[in-house]
Chains A and B, each alone.
Chain A
């Protein structure tokens, strides 16, 4: 049994125009100390998936179904009071924008002490010692001065280090990092990612890393999920997916990278753009952009247009694609769920 098990997670947003399903049947698991990457383009639902684990979905969003089991407890439907004991304590989060995460009117030390005292019965002095120790762990120069500084006095890279220190403050089991380095420059990004990786390994902390950067996922994580229009479409060991992506969308994403083309020649683009969640195409949400909707003999594959594909096992990976299913089993996979 894994540390975290998410099954059939269903998140919806109740909008004036009607309900929009931001996540459908999202399932994944995370073992203790494992690092999982969630990849996708904007609007794919990767942040919603991460936020819903701690029920941080703001209204009008809500979790409509599914189960989130963490260390034997069910988090979906848990009271706010109990959830608060888990948030920041056993599962902590790192957000994209370091300036938005830190409170601008409290010094770094005050924020760290506040967090510690909210979860543990310790004196302010003890809390400060722990805070100092954590700042040393994230390799911040002159940590004692930093404790009394305010967020605006620090650079972006420094702030993100402090946020990592705060995320590690209570020795969590899992850290959820939502695009932790997107706002940073490439040399700072490399340092922050190396630091995060090192600390997670050293303290055996699980990591859920949300990013759109395939390079970062490839270097940091052991397993990855690829999301498209609110669904997981491919899941498996990172190295295997990067080296041999099965789903046409994952393939397209990889092939669209400039690294994959000869310099000066046209890139292999995916035509079109991701559909809006309120106007999803029938069947496989990717079929209007997919180059494999026709069979090898030129006949259209009806299932792609009509039926939402179910997962098929392909080696160590799970792929939701009729074409892949056909190649493996000789017939398209049929999902349990009906077409909306």
Chain B
């Protein structure tokens, strides 16, 4: 089954984009990513009915995702585990190569570059990972950790200049200068995440991909790190691609939100619009499931069943089996993202037909 061909191209269905939209910092078009489950060539061979056949199975992690990230905004991607949000982040950073589609950074394609060709882009885009216990090299001091990206990207800088820069970055994220001589294991989760942020900021990037940067932290520490990310955005004019499953954080932090389900984007909207009027049935269910402080008895929308496996994707709309509004068309035809007048885009037949 070739889903790539079925996945709709975004350009064809939304009205001509206004001028500033064409200058998006990052453009993702029809991105797909499959992971093979079948091993190498010999492992794919099977005997079937006396014949030798080759059988391949894939995890369809991303199926035709198109996103634009504007300069200076924080685009949040939300969804449940397995929806492909982290894969999007990794493909954008070039840590995984896409199976199909295009990624343009500042107008230039970066999806098929060699690691040498990517080097100048790596200086402009940096990543912050979820687990600060795993993302710092345990054998390097903090000073070494922070100097490494500078030495790589500025081979012409002398020692003093590198040290000055490290000092400046450490001060800007609230790290005491004497931390430099210590190792990662000596710090708490929140402190390590500060160090990871400092490492990302050291080369003065303009774009930061943050993959669940606060999920591993305690509530009071989450607020500290989120504030730090917001300060950095204001002071350094950063653009964020922010991956999270926490809708409360999204509402606070995001300029726009993309909701993903099973490898596809089901809704993109400005944050305030999305939280005021979620349109896609999945977005509505997701929002109603957040435990709220105010009311005692939640009335959340119960979805039937569980997220299907991304190995055998459902036909039509990937959400149809759990959707309370699904009809025959939803089971057959893949919905396209359709732009609404309030700036949101929704991929849902029911919304399109006005049933919802």
Contact A215-B249, Cβ < 8 Å, known A186-B286, A269-B227: no
Q: Are A190 and B289 in contact, with the CB atoms below 8 A? A: yes
Contact A270-B223, Cβ < 8 Å, known A42-B218, A188-B306: yes
Nearest A residue to B225 via CB reads: A269
Q: Does A193 contact B (CB under 8 A)?
A: yes
Per-residue CB contact flags for chain A residues 242-278 toward chain B (1 = under 8 Å, else 0) read: 1000000000111011110101101111110110000
Contacts of A155 in B (CB 8 A): 306
Q: Does A290 contact B (CB under 8 A)?
A: no
Q: Are B227 and A257 in contact, with the CB atoms below 8 A? A: no
Per-residue CB contact flags for chain B residues 214-236 toward chain A (1 = under 8 Å, else 0) read: 00001111111011001100000
Q: Does A86 contact B (CB under 8 A)?
A: no
Q: Are A185 and B81 in contact, with the CB atoms below 8 A? A: yes
Q: Are B227 and A186 in contact, with the CB atoms below 8 A? A: no
Q: Are A257 and B219 in contact, with the CB atoms below 8 A? A: yes
Write the residues of chain B forming the contact surface with A, with a CB cutoff of 8 angstroms.
80-81, 188, 190-191, 218-224, 226-227, 230-231, 245, 247-249, 251-253, 271-272, 285-286, 288-298, 300, 302-303, 306-307
Q: Are B298 and A185 in contact, with the CB atoms below 8 A? A: no
Q: Are A239 and B291 in contact, with the CB atoms below 8 A? A: no
Q: What separation, in Å, do the CA atoms of A262 and B114 have in the docked complex?
A: 43
Q: Does A130 contact B (CB under 8 A)?
A: no
Contacts of A287 in B (CB 8 A): none
Q: Does A20 contact B (CB under 8 A)?
A: no
Q: Are B291 and A216 in contact, with the CB atoms below 8 A? A: yes
Q: Are A215 and B290 in contact, with the CB atoms below 8 A? A: yes
Contacts of A239 in B (CB 8 A): 296
Q: Which of A190, A259, A268 interacts with B293 by CB under 8 Å?
A: A259
Contact A218-B292, Cβ < 8 Å, known A158-B306, A258-B226: yes
CB B130 to nearest CB in A, in angstroms, measures 15
Q: Which of A188, A189, A212, A216 interacts with B218 by CB under 8 Å?
A: A212
Q: What separation, in Å, do the CA atoms of A252 and B302 have in the docked complex?
A: 33
Nearest A residue to B304 via CB reads: A141
Q: What separation, in Å, do the CA atoms of A84 and B219 have in the docked complex?
A: 36
Q: Does A15 contact B (CB under 8 A)?
A: no
Contact A253-B224, Cβ < 8 Å, known A193-B291, A215-B291: no
Contact A218-B291, Cβ < 8 Å, known A187-B285, A263-B252, A263-B271: yes
Q: Which of A185, A219, A257, A264 interacts with B248 by CB under 8 Å?
A: A257
Per-residue CB contact flags for chain A residues 131-166 toward chain B (1 = under 8 Å, else 0) read: 000000000000000000000000101100000000
Q: What separation, in Å, do the CA atoms of A263 and B251 have in the docked complex?
A: 6
CB B190 to nearest CB in A, in angstroms, measures 6
Contacts of A273 in B (CB 8 A): 188, 190-191, 218, 220-221
Nearest A residue to B216 via CB reads: A42
Q: What separation, in Å, do the CA atoms of A22 and B271 have in the docked complex?
A: 42
Contacts of A266 in B (CB 8 A): 227, 230-231
CB A238 to nearest CB in B, in angstroms, measures 9
CB A37 to nearest CB in B, in angstroms, measures 12
> Which of B191, B220, B223, B294: most chain A Cβ within 10 A?
B220
Contacts of A218 in B (CB 8 A): 291-294, 296
Contacts of A267 in B (CB 8 A): 223, 226-227, 252
Q: Which of A219, A252, A271, A274 interacts with B298 by CB under 8 Å?
A: A219
What are some 27 contacts across the A-B interface (CB < 8 A)? Answer: A41-B219, A41-B221, A157-B306, A185-B80, A187-B80, A187-B289, A189-B291, A190-B300, A191-B303, A213-B291, A218-B291, A219-B296, A219-B297, A239-B296, A256-B222, A257-B223, A258-B223, A258-B249, A259-B251, A259-B292, A263-B253, A264-B230, A267-B227, A269-B227, A270-B220, A270-B224, A271-B224
Contacts of A219 in B (CB 8 A): 291-292, 295-298
Q: Are B253 and A258 in contact, with the CB atoms below 8 A? A: yes
> Which of A41, A256, A268: most chain B Cβ within 10 A?
A256
Q: Are A252 and B220 in contact, with the CB atoms below 8 A? A: yes
Q: Does A57 contact B (CB under 8 A)?
A: no
Q: Does A214 contact B (CB under 8 A)?
A: yes
3 closest A-B pairs by beta carbon, nearest first, are A215-B291, A258-B252, A190-B289
Nearest B residue to A40 via CB reads: B218
Q: What separation, in Å, do the CA atoms of A194 and B220 have in the docked complex?
A: 27
Q: Are A269 and B223 in contact, with the CB atoms below 8 A? A: yes
Q: Are A253 and B247 in contact, with the CB atoms below 8 A? A: no
Contacts of B271 in A (CB 8 A): 263
